[in-house]
Structure 1
Amino acid sequence: MSPPLGKWATRLPTPGEYHGTVYEDTGTVLVFDPPVRLQTTHFSPSSGLPDIPENHHTVEYFLDPTPAGTTVTITQGNNSSDDEVASSTATWQLVLGNLKEFLESAPGKNTLLGGNQGG
């Protein structure tokens, strides 16, 4: 059974901490097409901007099976500046690097598309 659309599948808001500052991000699921695509909105008050739709990002996650495994692609739209693009790119590269490291730490146990889901 698929999680309901309209809110994050786990919880809303999503708490976090960045450079010692606690925050709660929010978002809405726009497209949920497992196991290939997820598109959400995302707003973080750590941006310092007001919580209005014009300040929300759109984030898309794509999973593409390949002979060598799975390619994960993340795109983020509605960035306000080149500096924000650079900062977001660095953040997503870190996230993807951590995901790759985690998945490669236990081959066959952590798969993104099908197979054994942690057993």
Structure 2
Amino acid sequence: MMQNRDSESSQEPTTETLNIAVDFDGTFTANTALFCQLVGSMLKYGADVRIVTFRFSTGNNSDIITWGERLNVPVIFTEGKQKEAFCEEIGWKPNIWIDDDPRFIPVVSDLESVARGCRVNGEK
């Protein structure tokens, strides 16, 4: 049975604010023009968008700071800590993560449970 696409689009949009974490190195930098458009659209629809990076705040971060300012979004440096745990520590909880390397997102306990599940299923 074919579903009517018009009926899907007529549903009311959610009013929940989306917190969207966008990784910088390898994600945003993979195609800056694309991500500028995406971030602009997210902001237009009321999302709270932040660049979340595994980088340390010390050192030369002029590239990421410049992009944050240009896009008018905050940059969160996790100082080498898992991104989800760090964001929780500062009181911000993303609903959506956009990251080329999701290993740096989950809290350690989640990583341990995933690893346990992989071992149980015989994965290497």
Query: TM-score, normalising length from structure 1?
Result: 0.27
More helix by share: 2
More strand by share: 1
Whose relative contact order is higher, 1 or 2, with alpha carbons under 8 Å and at least 6 apart? 2
The structure whose Rg is larger is 2
